[in-house]
Amino acid sequence: MLHPQVRFSPSNIAALKKSLRDHYPHIKSSHFDEAIAASLGFKSYAALRPALLQVGSHARLIVVTDHMLLLLRLEELGYRDIDAGNLRQLMWSIAFPDSWYDHHLEKAVTKRRRPTAANSQ
């Protein structure tokens, strides 16, 4: 099963949390912090936070979000009424503010992939 891949940045994690809170308003904010950390492979939000602050907004790190790990952590916290299929669709539909590439990196990647002209030396 494919999982959404996102750039690991504070604004993308905030967008993920906001989208989840909009769809599941009955879940506590701190519980979403823990569940999001679990979906990214961290054992707790306390472990995620320093890594997130260290990379800042200039990160080039792409992470995979796993909706089942998020769901399992929410179930551990007492939320058993969440449908896995709906959560998966939500995770895929989120518009993250930080794309994989910023403008400068995208230009560099495009230039690198451009073939060399046959008549160049």
Chain segment 4-55, per-residue pLDDT in tens: 888 888 989 999 999 999 999 999 999 999 999 999 999 999 999 999 888 8
CA distances from 79 to 43, 71, 88 (A): 18, 9, 16
Closest among 63, 10, 18 to 41, alpha carbons compared: 63
Q: What is the pTM assigned to this prediction? A: 0.78
- Reported as a single tens digit per residue, the pLDDT across 97-107 is 877 666 665 66
What does the alpha-carbon distance between residue 83 and residue 6 come to, in Å, rounded to a whole number? 22
Tokens of 41: 């492979």
Name the residue ranges covered by the structural domains of the chain: 5-113
